[in-house]
Amino acid sequence: MIISGIYCLKKAYKDGKQTFTDPLTLLFMTLILVWAINMLQANIFHSMYPGQRTALIYYVLFAFVLMFLIRDMIAGDVIGAKVLTSVLVIFFIVNFYRAVNLKSVREWSYDAYTYDVVNYIDTYRQKHPEAKIGLKLGGHFFPSFFYYHYMNYNKLRWLDMVTRFDTVTQPLFFYGTAEERPIFKNYIPVQIFGPDSQMLMMHR
């Protein structure tokens, strides 16, 4: 983005007012405007940064800025365009390699931290074989855990799961959202997952 900004300033100095009819300049200014408005909302009104599907507007604008930047560089400097394209490809490959996690899925009712929660409980079970292990699930996490339990039943038959709608059962662990914590006063957080502050809690 820094390269795009410098390039747009250079074009503005060279072409004057005609620069503001250029697609690259318009897209770059739109991207900066969206980013600036988001920063004001986050710092003044304390609203959340855009996430998940809302953040896709950044990806679209960013992609178009790169496309038009490479287009302009090809027209003026073929070697520079090839170098920039190679750097971008390497950057995206490295970023994808670091960001992707094929061990977890989070879409609709499936939760990304299912494996982590089960691994934590399994580690506790191995350290405390005398404990009776049970897990109450809040929010919409039951389908994800049920599927994982069903697919790995031979390894997870020790895990007894109930939903939050079961108001009688008080198992050792409860996994839910931060908003549900006040409802279950007998539980204390032992681990927090992700930006949504999903909590694995343990009975006092």
Identify the top-confidence range among 45-49, 54-58, 100-104, 147-151.
147-151
Residue 34: domain span: 2-99
* Under 8 Å between Cβ of 201 and 184: yes
Last-in-domain residue among 99, 124, 158: 99
Q: Can you give the pLDDT at residue 139? A: 66
The lowest-confidence range among 38-47, 101-110, 162-171 is 101-110
Domain assignment present for 109: no
Last-in-domain residue among 35, 65, 99: 99
Among candidate residues 136, 128, 141, the one with its CA nearest the CA of residue 194:
141
DSSP tally for the chain: helices H, then strands E: 7, 5
Instruction: Report the C-alpha gap between 27 and 48 in whole angstroms.
Output: 24
Whole-prediction pTM: 0.47
Q: What is the mean pLDDT of residues 4-18?
A: 69
